Structure 1
Amino acid sequence: MLTVAEFFVWLVAGIYFYVLPLIDRAIAEADARDDLEAQRALTVPKAPRSAFTARRLTPTTFLIVEVNDIFNEHPFIYAKIFAEAKEILLVDTGCGGMSRDPTVEITSLREFLETVDVPDNGGRPLNVGGQMGYAVVLSHCHYDHILGVEQFAVDSPIYESAHLPSFVSSQNLPKNSHCKALGVRTPSFEPTLVPHRSRLVFFAPDFSTNVVLLHTPGHTPDEVALWDTDENMLYVGDTLYEFEPIIFPAEGDIVDWLGSIDMLMDVVLGSTSPERALINCGHRTTMRPAKEVLQSTKAFMMDVLAGKMKVHRRETRRGIEYVEYVQPDQRYRLTCPEVLILGARERLDL
């Protein structure tokens, strides 16, 4: 039997000759892994910072968000890919990549589409190397939807509402887009004005889409919506959204807006699956049940017009008195010139 002294001698020897070498080897292997990762970090290019993000909504459609623009708009841009035609339909173009983040490298929407890897697209850009063409529908002419349009106007069709051509004319666009008021250069482009209920045929004479353009005046005279019959998807621009103020400029018309909501409801109810139809907006709201959102938004507006809701806040903008109404849960909020409320009440005899 070992004495206590002999036991400790063997214990120390075991630690010295067997345990310590194992520890040294583990440390060396960890250091080697760290060195390898450091080398990889040096050799693998870092993904450029972008003003945009993208995620998949459906097998063919992606939501692109301009995440940190200087106007605090965070506009939603939609890209529907027609793989057979090798074309992409864009709904709006955002704020032109004007980011608050000075480290952002990708400020062009087109460059983002063609060069930035998107995890929801298998880690590839939505339009690798610009292999597909584009067509752009502008939901309306406000700056946060058109400031990126020049990138596409050089070689792609740009579609707008034919409801009131003078509103989107080159002479009136600086004012009606609010670019002039913001001190921002107004984009220069030549749009094609599209009639109400037109099926979009823009890629080739032998290829038409199942996307229908609808005139939805109200928010602005040139507001449009798109109805994608293949996917039961409705795109409504700034006609409405949830948890952000629905804003009417001085050029808006609440009675026209109510008519547009009714028309959109008819489109949804006339579809093959009304309960499955989804609505996508220019800000905040996407992939929500279209029927319920349209009904509840209209109910909110009617409560405002009927005097069931009190003015939450007043402010004067450029000499115009604006009022704000807010639901208790803040799902719907309305900000508009008070004269639009008063005029709608008079016309509807409320």
Structure 2
Amino acid sequence: MYGIDIGMFDSSVASVYLFDDDEPTLVDGGIAAAAETIVEGIEDCGVDPSSLSNLVLSHVHVDHTGAASALVDVAPDLDVYIHESTAPHLVDPAGLVESSKRAMGEHFELMGEQGPVPEQNVVGVPNEGTTVDIGANSLELIHAPGHSPDHFAVWNPERELLFAAECLGIYFGAAEEWLPPATLPNFDVDAIGDAIDRLAEFDPDRIVFPHFGEWPGEPDDAFETARTELHRFDERILEYHDETGSVDATKELVGEELLDLSPPYDPAVESFFSSLLTDGYLKHHGRV
């Protein structure tokens, strides 16, 4: 299994994962603007991109699905797995693109232009019971809503490897910063808490994230950190909003007080995530 840095904003911000097996399989699809980077990354791993058999998408957000159509262009027989409720947004991404523009604001320009995926390539996945057998490895799709209603984590039992997607949060190793997975429009604190507990029951040996890379510590520590940061950010963001009465002022305080990403990361990364975190928590509490 290989991780491929897709170069979103900066290095070490977003990644996809390639299983080099009988059926080469990519977990998550990255942003549309990174399609060429992803294809080159697959080649660098010694796999012919046209042989890609499966693309497993954790959820419909454009930083995870954006390059799907370009990957189908490269591998026309590619099966693209996504929750059945959001599968239509791959076939016709216009509504997804518009909602993403509202959520991301000026940062959306960096995502690139997301094209449609042919309907015959899309595999709609129900909440439970889907395992993708790819050879020596199998990938079990675990419905774990909270970041979004359609959200899946992926369990690879042969390696005891958990692809946590955005159930646990975001780990920026270069800054040793952990962020909760708050975003627009459907972030749910309670559902994320349940998802963390469910995934902890798998007792993984390894945990990998789309944002970003492999967790370097003990897996139990990742679950505990996820719980702690989920509620710490919740309390602090509500406090900032109570103090300022302003969404924009709250975002500034989140960037100044709760995030410490720049340096080493591009300042746009801090701006992007402080905005999403603030909007996600305030929307959850009915304040925006």
Equivalent AA in structure 2 for residue 92 of structure 1: D
The runs of 5 or more residues in structure 1 that have no matched partner are 1-60, 99-105, 117-124, 269-273, 345-350
Distance 1:265 1:244, change over 3 A: closer
Question: How far apart in 2 are the matches of 1:166 and 1:252?
Answer: 21
SS at match of 2:240: coil
Are 1:230 and 2:158 matched, yes or no?
Answer: yes
Question: How far apart in 2 are the matches of 1:196 and 1:216?
Answer: 9
Distance 1:138 1:249, change over 3 A: same
Distance 1:336 1:220, change over 3 A: farther
SS at match of 1:187: coil
Percent of pairs identical after alignment?
18
Contact kept, 8 Å, 1:141 with 1:177, in 2: the verdict is no
- 1:133 corresponding residue in structure 2: 52
Equivalent AA in structure 2 for residue 88 of structure 1: P
SS at match of 1:107: helix
Question: How far apart in 1 are the matches of 2:71 and 2:30?
Answer: 12
Aligned length: 249
Question: Which residue among 24, 29, 38 is the counterpart of 1:93?
Answer: 29
Question: How far apart in 2 are the matches of 1:130 and 1:304?
Answer: 40
Equivalent AA in structure 2 for residue 300 of structure 1: E
- 1:295 corresponding residue in structure 2: 224
- 2:254 corresponding residue in structure 1: 324
Distance 1:174 1:71, change over 3 A: farther
The 5 Å alignment of 1:34-113 reads 61-67=1-7, 69=8, 74-82=13-21, 85=22, 87-98=23-34, 107-113=36-42
The runs of 5 or more residues in structure 2 that have no matched partner are 172-176, 262-272
The 5 Å alignment of 1:1-350 reads 61-67=1-7, 69=8, 74-82=13-21, 85=22, 87-98=23-34, 107-114=36-43, 116=44, 125-127=45-47, 129-130=48-49, 132-153=51-72, 154-162=76-84, 170=92, 172-178=95-101, 182=108, 184-189=112-117, 190=119, 191-201=122-132, 209-239=137-167, 240-242=169-171, 243=177, 245-246=179-180, 247-268=182-203, 277-288=205-216, 289-305=218-234, 310-311=239-240, 316=247, 324=254, 335-337=277-279, 338-340=281-283, 342=285
Distance 1:285 1:226, change over 3 A: same
TM-score, length-normalised on structure 2?
A: 0.69
Deviation at 1:303, TM superposition (A): 3.7
Query: For 1:258-288, what per-residue CA distance to the aligned partner results, in whole angstroms no more than 9, with x for missing partners?
Result: 12112112222xxxxx5xx221111134144
Distance 1:64 1:111, change over 3 A: closer
Moved over 6 A (4+): 166-169, 312-315
Equivalent AA in structure 1 for residue 69 of structure 2: E
Contact kept, 8 Å, 1:214 with 1:227, in 2: the verdict is yes
Distance 1:341 1:109, change over 3 A: closer
Contact kept, 8 Å, 2:164 with 2:209, in 1: the verdict is yes
Equivalent AA in structure 2 for residue 241 of structure 1: I
Distance 1:110 1:340, change over 3 A: same
Question: How far apart in 1 are the matches of 2:82 and 2:214?
Answer: 22
SS at match of 2:154: strand
Question: How far apart in 2 are the matches of 1:109 and 1:160?
Answer: 19
Contact kept, 8 Å, 2:184 with 2:283, in 1: the verdict is no
RMSD, matched Cα: 3.8
Contact kept, 8 Å, 2:237 with 2:254, in 1: the verdict is no
Deviation at 1:238, TM superposition (A): 2.5
- Which range is displaced more, 253-262 or 180-189? 180-189
Distance 1:257 1:165, change over 3 A: farther
Deviation at 1:71, TM superposition (A): 7.8
Deviation at 1:228, TM superposition (A): 0.8
Contact kept, 8 Å, 2:33 with 2:113, in 1: the verdict is no
Query: For 1:282-332, what per-residue CA distance to the aligned partner results, in whole angstroms no more than 9, with x for missing partners?
Result: 113414433221122112223444669953997747xx97573866988xx
Larger RCO (CA under 8 A, 6+ residues apart)? 2
SS at match of 1:172: helix
Distance 1:173 1:341, change over 3 A: closer
Question: How far apart in 2 are the matches of 1:302 and 1:74?
Answer: 23
Question: How far apart in 1 are the matches of 2:179 and 2:149?
Answer: 19
Contact kept, 8 Å, 2:5 with 2:12, in 1: the verdict is no
TM-score, length-normalised on structure 1?
A: 0.58
Which of these two proteins has the greater Rg computed from alpha carbons?
A: 1
Query: For 1:114-157, what per-residue CA distance to the aligned partner results, in whole angstroms no more than 9, with x for missing partners?
Result: 3x4xxxxxxxx420x44743211112222222222113333200
